[in-house]
Structures are given as structure tokens and as C-alpha cells.
Amino acid sequence: MQSPVYYALVNPNLSILMNMCFIFQRITIPEIMKDEWFKKNYKPPVFYEKEDADLDDVQALFKDSEEYRVTEKKEEQQPTAMNAFELISMSRGLKLDNLFDVEQGFKRETRFTSKCPANEIISKIVKAAKPLGFDIHKKNYKMRLENVKAGRKGNLNVATEIFQVAPSLHMVEVRKAKGDTLEFHMFCKNLSSSLEDVVWKTEEDMQETK
Amino acid sequence: MGCHLSKRSKLIPGYEKPTVLAAETPFTVSEVEALHELFKKLSSSIINDGLIHKEEFQLALFRNRNKRNLFADRIFDLFDVKRNGAIDFGEFIRSLGVFHPNASTDDKVAFAFRLYDLRQTGYIEREELKEMVLALLHESDLVLPDDVVEVIVDKTFNDADLKGDSRIDPVEWKEFVSKNPSLIKNMTLPYLKDITLAFPSFVLNSEVEDSDV
């Protein structure tokens, strides 16, 4: 089959590449990215996060420093206690963003309460996240879940942390650390259906206007 | 047309010129004007009198004018600086100013302290903290036995009440917040920096040109 005439006016390498796209089997994106024509002057996109996600604590957690390891040992017994004022600050009456009544898009973090022991919560999250294609890094009651496959804005990274409100009540925070917010939203939906027997109240349950 | 609009605006109780409010808060004149649009919307939702009443405030926060909430009450009372039962435009702007990302941390810390000092005694008493914890648990439909609530309150109080006199004073509070910065996270509304994007109509109504006539 003859290439259309206009291809002849273009860089022959591009022409060959385009033929491969349309004529032979459909070339894949990764294959295109390996092609010489494509690689010329190519700069991979860097995805900037608009919001200021505070990643300091997440980064610090996974830094392999000796001194950090030593102090962590002491805290291995219990999850961090949730301060009463932190608990109070979750009230819907203090969420003045609602005055603006704006479509603020999908949430970048969520939380749920659980009556299960902290270790059980951890293992259930691990069990739920692994089949979804996530790598798990764990340090005490904090975890970093990373999607092995890159998504729309790089690899989705999720940070989770368990707080103890009372011996029988834990608060689990699930936060997007990196990546596409919609993918994070889908991840949370999948996670919550796998964690049905662990979750006591979701954030929606707690914020329902009675 | 400009004259007509400024006449109408001066009928709004507590109206202060955007330039004055901008000078005394972290807002720019444009931001004050954009917030004016928001204020008009909120203050006319039930009674169209240029004032935000408690029910209008509840309607905005909870989409339910009759929803009672301890914390919303505290916010309302703090915004109502003149304590006359409604929030006027000046009070609205000046109070929201504390929530601006550029407002000083000291201002935010002080506002949070007054927020949690339920009976305005100048201290956050242990009973007040317990009352707030119970309010939050009730609001979230989380039921806990009283002795568990006591443990939660005790632990926090012991961390914060350095003098051990069963109450948290402003100095202890400031110290406590510096150790737990996330405590004033909800004292900042990042969205305030984008407010002019949400209410662009002010561009047509701008009173900045109506300088002191």
C-alpha cells in the first residue's frame, strides 16, 4: 500500500513511524516512546501538584537514617494517640470551606473509624491494596502504598496512618501523597469495599446531616 | 450606573469601603469585592436584610437552616463581634481575614483559643474540652462509654495543661499548638486566595473607581 502523498514531504523517519501506527499492528505508547524520532529533544513531563501536600512527614518516615530508627523503636507499641483537639477540629461546623459552596473536586484525603485492633487494620489494608497493584512500605502504624503502574499523573502514592482515639477506637487517615486525584478517589472506593468488616464509620457517615 | 450601585451598597448594614477593609485585613480590594458577592448571597438566603443571621449561617454550612452545632455556634459568635445577633459585612470580612493563608499564625492561634473557650472565661477548662469532645462524638454518631471519653480528655489535657491547674491558658495553648501545628489547620482556608476566580461579577460592579466623592 502506498503511503499518502503528503507523508513524502515530511521527515522520512516520522513517515515510517506513522505507517507503523496505522498500517502494521497498532504500535503502543511505550514502543513509540522508544523510537528515535520521538526521543529527539524529548523531555518527559513533570507533574506538578497544585496543592501543597505536606510530604515532609511521609518523606521523613522512609528516610533510612540511623537516629530515626532508634526513636521509632520506642513507639512501636501503640499507634499515635489522637489529640482531643484534633478530634474536635474534624467537626463539620468548623469546615468554613462549605460557605463557598464550590465544586472543589474529588477529595485528596479521607478517614474512617474502626473498632478493630491497629494490627488487624494494617493487615487488612495490605491484603486489600496488594491485588490492586500496590507496593507496600510499612513503618509502625504508617504506610505508603505505591501503584506499580504509572497513571495519568505518574504513579499514585497513598499515605495511610492509624491514630488511636481510645483503646477500642482507631481513626485511619488515607491521604493522596502523589498522583491523580480521580485515581485516588477510585482507589478509596475499591479499598472501602474490601475493608467492609473493618470500617465502623466512614467520613460520609460521620458528616451526615441528621 | 456606578453611583446607583454605591448608593445601594451603603444601605447594607456594617458596610465599609473595600479599600478600608483591604488595608486592615490580608485581603486585596478585589478579594474584598469578591467576598462582597458571597456575603450578599449568604445574607439574603432567608431574610434579605444585608445581615447573616444564625439560620442563614447554618443553611450555608450544613444545607439545613435548623441544624444546631456547638462549633458553628462558636464561629458565629466570634464573627458577630458587636454581639448583636447577626454578622454584618465588616464583621464578615474582618473575621474571615484571620483564615486567610497570609494571616499571622499568632492571630490564628488566638482565634482558635477564643473558639474553644466556650464560656469566654479566658481559659479552656477541662469541662469545656470534654463538652467539645462529646459534641464531636455525637455529631459523628460515634458512641463511646464515659470512662473512655475521660481517658481521651485526660491525655490531651495533661499534655497541654503544663501548670497543672485544670485549665489551659493562652500561653499554654500557644505552646501546645507549636508542638502540634495541625491543630490550627482548619484556621486557614486556602480557597480565599482564589476567591476572585469564583466571583468574577465584581469586575463589572467595581466601586474602586468611586473614590472619595
Kindly report, residue by residue over A5-41, the tens digit of the pLDDT.
Answer: 555 566 777 777 776 666 656 677 878 888 888 888 8
State the cell numbers at B15.
458596610
The predicted structure's pLDDT at residue A67 = 44
The residue whose grid cell reads 495533661 is B158
The predicted structure's pLDDT at residue B172 = 97
Closest alpha carbon within chain B to A54: B182
ipTM for the predicted complex:
0.86
Q: What is the C-alpha separation between A4 and A10, in angstroms, rounded?
A: 11
- At position A145, the amino acid (one-letter code) is L
The reply to whether A33 and A66 lie within a common domain is no
The reply to whether A15 and A100 lie within a common domain is no
> pLDDT below 70 — which residues of chain A?
1-10, 19-26, 48-76, 102-105, 208-210
Q: Are strands A80-81 and A154-166 parallel, antiparallel or unpaired?
A: parallel
The reply to whether A35 and A67 lie within a common domain is no
- Whether A116 maps to a domain, the answer reads yes
Q: What is the C-alpha separation between B96 and B79, in angstroms, rounded?
A: 8
**pTM higher than 0.80:** no
Q: What is the C-alpha separation between B86 and A98, in angstroms, rounded?
A: 19
- Whether A101 maps to a domain, the answer reads yes
The reply to whether A96 and A199 lie within a common domain is yes
At how many degrees (to 10) do helices B146-160 and B170-179 cross? 100
DSSP A138: E
State the cell numbers at A43.
523531555
The reply to whether A18 and A105 lie within a common domain is no
Q: B174-198 b/e with 16+ CB inside 10 Å = b?
A: eebbeebeebbebbbbebbeebbee
- Whether A137 maps to a domain, the answer reads yes
For the stretch B22-40, pLDDT in tens is 999 999 999 999 999 999 9
The reply to whether A153 and A187 lie within a common domain is yes
Q: What is the C-alpha separation between A88 and A107, in angstroms, rounded?
A: 20
Asked if A14 is an interface residue toward chain B (Cβ–Cβ < 8 A), one would say no
- Whether A49 maps to a domain, the answer reads no
Q: What is the C-alpha separation between A149 and A132, in angstroms, rounded?
A: 10
The reply to whether A187 and A141 lie within a common domain is yes
The reply to whether A109 and A33 lie within a common domain is no
Q: In terms of residues, how long is chain A?
A: 210
Q: Which residues of B touch A95 (CB under 8 A)?
A: 61, 186
The reply to whether A106 and A178 lie within a common domain is yes
- Return mean pLDDT, chain B: 89
Residue A202: give its domain's CATH number.
3.30.310.80
Q: Which of B62, B75, B149 sits opposite A209 (nearest CB)?
A: B62
Res B104 pLDDT > 50: yes
Domains of chain A: total = 2
DSSP annotation string for A108-135: SEEEEEE-S-HHHHHHHHHHHHGGGTEE
- The three-state DSSP-derived secondary structure of B46-75 is CCCCCCEEHHHHHHHHHCCCCCCCHHHHHH
The reply to whether A21 and A87 lie within a common domain is no
The predicted structure's pLDDT at residue A65 = 47
The residue whose grid cell reads 505505591 is A146
The reply to whether A81 and A19 lie within a common domain is no
Q: Do A201 and B129 touch (CB under 8 A)?
A: no
- Whether A45 maps to a domain, the answer reads no
For the stretch B158-195, pLDDT in tens is 999 999 999 999 999 999 999 999 999 999 998 898 88
The predicted structure's pLDDT at residue A199 = 87
- Whether A13 maps to a domain, the answer reads yes
- Whether A46 maps to a domain, the answer reads no
Q: Domain limits at A97?
A: 55-209
Q: Select the residue from B37, B61, B66 to test the A interface by mutation, using most A Cβ atoms within 10 A.
A: B61
- At position B97, the amino acid (one-letter code) is G
- Whether A150 maps to a domain, the answer reads yes
Backbone φ and ψ for B212, nearest 5 degrees, come out as: -40, 100
Q: What is the C-alpha separation between A66 and A206, in angstroms, rounded?
A: 40
| Average pLDDT of the residues in B203-207 | 50
The reply to whether A22 and A85 lie within a common domain is no
